[in-house]
Amino acid sequence: MLPRRTCIGVFDSGFGGLTVLKALLEVIPDADYIYFGDTARLPYGSKSVETVSRYAVQAGNYLEQHGAQMLVIACNTATALSLDKITQAASVPVIGVVEPGAERAAGESKNRRAVVIGTEATVNSHAYLKALEARGVQAKEKACPLLVPLVEEGWTDHAVTEEVARIYLDEAFTDGFRSADVLLLGCTHYPLLKPLLHRVASKHVTIVDSAESTAQAVARELRHAPLAVPENERRNLPRLRFFATDSTEKFKRLGERFLGHKIEQVEHVDLKE
């Protein structure tokens, strides 16, 4: 019989949440993981709160049905727009990416000023702004819509991406935020740009990765309240399982960039409306 282990479900609208899974694997290597990428219905940013909530709740239910004992919402849009609804619908603990990222940013900031970069939908939700202000940190948000397609193109260290990032950061670190000492990455694609962003950002700026912060928050939660595994449950499933609602081949190809190693198998899921 295989040892019984905690099973964590990770949900995202696409591939970016794999950076959260990568961080989780580093921090909690002895758990089982199920990843659900709703690739057929992305991007979530252009959809209504009601639609995002419905999709995310469906995905959460699917992960629970496949053994997840905790849900990690590794999608900034779903966290920002629908975390309450996902939590209400779930019968297991739920952790999103916004609060852990804001908590870490607040802990790192000396002068209580931070810049947040993310997608249009995340910025328009003001979720990070509210979470930081609740912790006594003034925040300025900047939407960076060109960065996600550049990352998915594989241009994570390209001169074009560096110039785009430089323009965005120059626009973000202006006026009263020239002295901001934290750059919070409010999109799960952005960890792939950290080396480039370190070059572009001012030397006094600390870069906070919400993917890493979320993994640390999950680890703290498990230390505080370990998840019991049913005595009669055999862990015959693979340690890592991947589900996607669109092309499994595309998921494997793109996903490996985010996860940092080969993805052997992806199972296709057709969630009915």
Active-site residue set: 75, 187
Helix crossing, 248-259 with 18-27: angle to 10°?
A: 50
Q: How far apart are CA 73 and CA 78, in angstroms?
A: 7
Burial 145-165 (b: 16+ CB within 10 A, else e): eebbebbbeebbeeeebbebb
Contact 31, 5 (CB under 8 A): yes
Q: How far apart are CA 207 and CA 165, in angstroms?
A: 14
CB atoms within 10 A of CB 178: 9
Beta-bridge mates of residue 11: 36, 73
Q: How far apart are CA 194 and CA 127, in angstroms?
A: 22
Half-sphere exposure of 197 (CA within 13 A, CB side): 23
Q: How far apart are CA 3 and CA 245, in angstroms?
A: 30
CB atoms within 10 A of CB 171: 12
